[in-house]
A = this chain, B = another copy of it.
Amino acid sequence: MDDNRQIRDLIEGWALAVARGDLAGVLEGHGEDIVMFDVPPPYEGVRGLAAYRDTWPPFFEWQATGAVFEIESLEVTAGAEVAFALALLRCGTDKEFADNPANRLRLTLGLCRREGRWVVTHEHHSFPELDHAGG
């Protein structure tokens, strides 16, 4: 299996684990040194696998109110030892999509190959700001 396929499988498996609220599945293939820039604060990101893990239970609670979490598009750029990927996801409730059909979560991942396996060491999740003055 080539690198691109391995990475796609890892990311697609992760998104399915998120959607079913499977914390162990979400953590699989993630590095101890992961840095996540998440949708909520803190600005400086969440550092380390324990802190990353702690962000998911509140998300799952919100998701259980009726939100979907589905990859819509995924583009992987892989070298021999380092890769990155970008994705757009449907992440929200029916009401949010009714109010704003264009709504998508933007996701960027950074990956490293360690002991022969691809590992996610960075995630950046965001929604654009509809009313931002600069930046």
Q: Give A contacts to B, CB under 8 Å.
A: 35, 37-45, 59, 62-63, 67, 75, 77-84, 86, 88, 91-92, 102-106, 108, 110, 112, 121-122, 124-130, 132-135
Given contacts A82-B83, A92-B134, 10 further A-B pairs with CB under 8 A are: A35-B75, A39-B128, A41-B128, A42-B128, A45-B88, A63-B134, A79-B80, A84-B108, A105-B135, A126-B126
- Whether A79 contacts B82 by the Cβ 8 Å rule is yes
- Whether B40 contacts A132 by the Cβ 8 Å rule is yes
Query: Looking across the interface, which residue of chain B has its beta carbon closest to that of A135?
Result: B39
Instruction: Kindly report how many copies of this chain are found in the complex they form together.
Output: 2
Contact with A110, one of B35, B80, B86 (Cβ below 8 angstroms): B86
